[in-house]
Chain A
Amino acid sequence: MAEDDNNEPWEHDLEDPEPFHHEASGSSHGRGRGTPALYGVMAEFDNPSVLVAAARRTYQEGYRRINGYSPYPIEELSEAIGFKGMTLPLIVLIGGIVGGLGGFFMQYWMEVINYPLNVGGKPYNSWPAFIPITFECTVLCAAFAAVLGMLMLNKLPQPYHPVFNAPNFALATRDRFFLVIEANDPKFIHREVLQFMGTLGARDVSDVEV
């Protein structure tokens, strides 16, 4: 076709599956008249530097509903996708304070108010002796807050997530790096996204079904 002359090699047509483009595969829901439910478009990379650069460019392009996937944490990546996430430290702090105050006042209430007993001539409010347990309660509650907070904020456990449908996604836990632009991003236009992601230096770009 005449327009094809201007297409880049990796541009593709829905009708012509080419090696670089993978259909949203799998279930039969997607075939037919309506487009299959699309979660987003995933690009697969070889190394972290390319991924981070790609993420930055994606963010600059104005995409916001984006995410990166890697086999190990990459500090620059979360910056690049514009994620700050300072909720967790606050949760931990509150957990610690609640634990500490709770621990101390538990001891205080039990030894001073509810059932005071003369134990070796020590004062009822033996606050120096209450310190170790107070400290431990602080640490315990803060630790629980950290873990539970992290899991809850991450919405884990979550056995199923659409990205698992991406091809080769199993390698996200080995040596591949991924970037996705979700379909519900306000700027998401499938064709444009596909095209844009083709410019990022990925090994592969594919649709991901929900």
Chain B
Amino acid sequence: MMALGQPVNTIYDFSKADRILSLDADFLAILPGTLRYARNFAARRRITEGKHEMSRLYVIETTPTTTGASADHQWSVKPTEMENAALAIATGLGVKGVPSAPSTSGLEAIARDLQQHKGASIVIAGKEAPPDVHALAHAMNDALGNVGKTVFYTDPVEANSVDQRQSLQELISDIDGGRVEMLVIVGGNPVYNTPADLKLDKDRMFKTKLRVHLSQYRDETSELCHWHIPESHYLEAWSDTRSYDGTVTIVQPLIEPLYQSKSAHELLAVFTPQYDRKPYDIIRDYWQHQGQAAGAGGSQQQGASPVATPSADFESWWRKCVHDGFVPNTALRTRSASVNPGGLSQPNAGGTPAVPGGSPTVREGSNSGTFELVFRTDPTIYDGRFANNGWLQELPKPLSKLTWDNAALVSPNTAKQLGLEKTIGRKGGDIYVDTLKITYQGRTFTDPVPTWITPGQPDGVITVHLGYGRKRAGRVGNNHGFNAYEIRTSDSPWSASGVQVEKAGVQHLLAVTQLHFMLEDRNFSKEDRDVLRSQTLEEYLKGTPAGETHDPPPDDTLYHPELFDYQNQGNGLNYAWGMAIDLNNCVGCNACTIACQSENNIPVVGKEQVVRSREMHWIRVDTYFKGEDANNPEATNFMPVPCMHCENAPCEPVCPVHATVHSAEGLNDMVYNRCVGTKYCSNNCPYKVRRFNFFLYQDWETPTYQLMRNPEVTVRSRGVMEKCTYCVQRIQGAKIQSELEGRKVRDGEIVTACQAVCPTEAIVFGDVNDPNSRVSRLKAEQRNYSLLAELNTKPRTTYLSALRNPNPEIK
């Protein structure tokens, strides 16, 4: 707004962007529209079928993110330095009227690179970035001529766009002034997550006479209200909503409400004359009127395109919208907005940005003893609303692999400065860490603040994630982590400076799923294991192999080479299932892990079991830092690892009871009801993809879990081994359907759960006997390789090595 003078919504088209500069924008993980952005971004970086150009991503951020991991160049800077970095680039782009800031060769190179891609570049500022940085980003896009090509402005998506901080302030002062008699809170959890300086705490709540809270959980806010109305889940209620670009979707319930809950519509209807109107009618009527109003050039600021007006057609139009899931042509119309950079204030005295030629500098720690703080929503439980979601609590955070806790991220140098240590325990997933005492504007955290030494974190900056420290989250969400909202203020919700930090006496136990993030033990060797291959685009185009070639020659066997001829199974259909995972596209979001958990009835084991290395995820995303120095990685890569379904599976011959055998179509079948639990198969799997039910992890009691579970997948009991099955239930379903229809299964008809949910289409599954299938074409790429090929396991899941497109002028 600062730059443009009015509230707008900015959306981006990454499918047309060749150069992207992200100023603290985690656009691959957070932000509305992130799925579309990830999809399009990945499309611009996919080098298959002879393509030889890919986009280039620069990321300047205040804390490492998965977007930064996907960058070709990434720098970590302090929040107070971010604006200077943006200013330097803006100056380099010729943006007029901005204060000057010292530049470096790296920043200049970025500016030059962007200049060469006018109209095909994007400068994006993260939602956490301060207004000045946003303004600069808009100005830069303007200067680059991106507006209307890759950057678009629309009216705000919210129906009533207000300054939320100001609105909250008004409410608080109204409450303080005793002017609020009845307070109706529709959704949300303001007692928990209002900022510390505008806290809706117990005293303020008690100042109002009647309090009503509609929410899904009886949470911190409900505790202080007279009435807690259980809220219907969005899958149980009629509603409508807008996506990131304004497209309307009608929310249709899948089931009747499980409990006696009410939706927001039902609650608000109570305040209207038609107090018992059904949500279905409310929605329907609204859209019927929308069509009529739009025809009359309506007052709606959304600028939605006309809806079919005649009421006779409304019924069929309505049915189509409900069926399709979206209302066509409701995307907000793009509009122009002029950028006025003069609105920018003087830059902060934050010092020069730490962006020299390329790699992040090692700065001496904050000499005044104060630190800067960065607030971020948590990668898995967001702002705390998912704290009671066991799946998300147990999902490891992409860069730390931490579960069931949040931690204060500190850089290795800061850790040394503060004398912080991290000790790996002996149980497998247990890390003992020192805790901190953090004070900001006189406020501090009540729960212990564990630390996490994060390579790539800027020195002198501590990142804390919101959403933890809850006391009324539900069965599994209570008393995990510390509550970052306790010191977060409304004037600077995403960063803070002048923070006092010192080591606290107590240690904390954290549960992590990965202990080692380098591709080799650096005490042993500086060379990486050939596990995750990555090269530059230039090297790839020259034909340089990305790793050592290990594939043994095909006749390197004592057995007859045609022992099991997967090409000719003799049953006519000859399916041979396989999977290709493009490491170049994986952005480390970990959605595949959750999708698999959902599809295959995978249990949640809890923090104590994760401490014992017994998490049950069938597909995990390994995070590796490249480079020699663990404290200063050159790059971060992600590698999803499901079962490889090896043709020469080492797990199969060691099972004494035939519980794991090979199907004619190439699947390594796990027969749960035959497994007696010797665990030899897990020992012999070099990829360690097998998971064991050490206890009865499944909850037989809770009735709603019976509804939650996928009926097509066995629910495993205690003592059996389980692992990725290539979603065999989906394969069988498709085969059955195809047999009924008298045809072969089509390519793309079987989509594994991980493939379905992957935003960047990094995972592809299909028939490798069909040379035209997507998976076969991917496997034919030069970048394709088998993990641990030298073991001659002949895995059906192969990888395509990652590529980076660095700017030759930098470093």
Contact = CB atoms under 8 A, between A and B. Distances in A.
Interface string A78-116: 000000000000000000000000000000000000000
Interface of B: 559-560, 563-564, 646-653, 655, 658, 661-664, 794
B653 A118 contact: no
A117 B662 CA distance: 7
Nearest to A122: B653
Nearest to B661: A117
Interface string A115-126: 001111111000
B648 A121 contact: yes
A121 B658 contact: no
Contact of A120 (B560, B648, B664): B648
> Top 3 closest A-B pairs, CB basis?
A120-B652, A118-B662, A120-B653
A92 B148 CA distance: 94
B658 A120 contact: no
A161 to B, nearest CB: 48
Contacts of A129: 653
Contacts of A117: 658, 661-662
B647 A121 contact: yes
A136 to B, nearest CB: 14
Contacts of B651: 120
B568 to A, nearest CB: 14
A109 to B, nearest CB: 15
A53 B655 CA distance: 63
A118 B564 CA distance: 8
A121 B651 CA distance: 11
Contacts of A123: 559-560, 563
Contacts of A122: 559, 653
Nearest to B655: A119
Nearest to A119: B652
Q: Interface range on chain A: under 10, 10 to 19, 20 to 34, or 35 or more?
A: under 10
A121 B662 contact: yes
B563 A119 contact: no
Contacts of A118: 564, 652, 661-664
A89 B652 CA distance: 41
A137 B651 CA distance: 26
Interface of A: 117-123, 129
Contacts of B560: 123
A79 to B, nearest CB: 50
Contacts of A121: 559, 563-564, 647-649, 662, 794
A120 B655 CA distance: 10
A119 B653 CA distance: 6
A192 B7 CA distance: 136
A133 to B, nearest CB: 11
Contacts of B648: 120-121
Contacts of B559: 121-123
Nearest to B653: A120
B768 to A, nearest CB: 16
A119 B564 contact: no
A15 B663 CA distance: 92
Given A118-B662, A120-B650, A123-B559, 7 more contacts: A117-B658, A117-B662, A120-B646, A120-B651, A120-B653, A121-B559, A129-B653
A123 B647 CA distance: 13
Nearest to B647: A121
A119 B661 contact: yes
Contacts of A120: 646, 648-653, 662
A119 B669 CA distance: 10
Contacts of A119: 652-653, 655, 658, 661-662
Contacts of B794: 121
B680 to A, nearest CB: 12
Nearest to B664: A118
B52 to A, nearest CB: 38
Contacts of B652: 118-120
28 contacts: A117-B658, A117-B662, A118-B564, A118-B652, A118-B661, A118-B662, A118-B663, A119-B652, A119-B653, A119-B658, A119-B662, A120-B646, A120-B650, A120-B651, A120-B652, A120-B662, A121-B559, A121-B564, A121-B647, A121-B648, A121-B649, A121-B662, A121-B794, A122-B559, A122-B653, A123-B559, A123-B563, A129-B653
A17 B518 CA distance: 101
B670 to A, nearest CB: 13
Contacts of B664: 118
A132 to B, nearest CB: 13
B119 to A, nearest CB: 55
A129 B563 CA distance: 17
B296 to A, nearest CB: 70
Contacts of B661: 117-119
A205 to B, nearest CB: 64
A119 B663 CA distance: 9
A122 B563 CA distance: 8
A106 to B, nearest CB: 15
A132 B664 CA distance: 29
A129 B558 CA distance: 13
A157 to B, nearest CB: 38
B391 to A, nearest CB: 33
Contacts of B662: 117-121
Contacts of B647: 121
Nearest to A121: B648
B487 to A, nearest CB: 57
Nearest to A128: B558
B73 to A, nearest CB: 45
Nearest to A117: B661
Contacts of B663: 118
Counting chain B CB atoms within 10 Å of each CB, the highest count among A119, A121, A122, A123 belongs to A121
A122 B658 CA distance: 13
A143 to B, nearest CB: 24
Nearest to B668: A120
B792 to A, nearest CB: 10
Contacts of B646: 120
B208 to A, nearest CB: 69
Nearest to B658: A117
A35 to B, nearest CB: 68
A129 B652 CA distance: 14
B794 to A, nearest CB: 8
Counting chain B CB atoms within 10 Å of each CB, the highest count among A119, A120, A122, A129 belongs to A120
A123 to B, nearest CB: 6
A120 B559 CA distance: 12
A105 B726 CA distance: 36
A117 B564 CA distance: 11
Contacts of B649: 120-121
Contacts of B658: 117, 119
A119 to B, nearest CB: 5
Nearest to A120: B652
Counting chain A CB atoms within 10 Å of each CB, the highest count among B560, B652, B664 belongs to B652
A128 to B, nearest CB: 9
B759 to A, nearest CB: 35
A117 B649 CA distance: 13
A117 B559 CA distance: 16
Contacts of B564: 118, 121
A120 to B, nearest CB: 4
Contacts of B650: 120
A95 B794 CA distance: 43
Counting chain B CB atoms within 10 Å of each CB, the highest count among A117, A119, A122, A129 belongs to A119
B653 to A, nearest CB: 4
A140 to B, nearest CB: 18
B666 to A, nearest CB: 10
A122 B652 CA distance: 9
B551 to A, nearest CB: 16
A145 to B, nearest CB: 28
A127 B488 CA distance: 70
B401 to A, nearest CB: 31
A121 B653 CA distance: 9
A84 to B, nearest CB: 46
A123 B648 CA distance: 11
Nearest to A111: B658
A119 B651 CA distance: 9
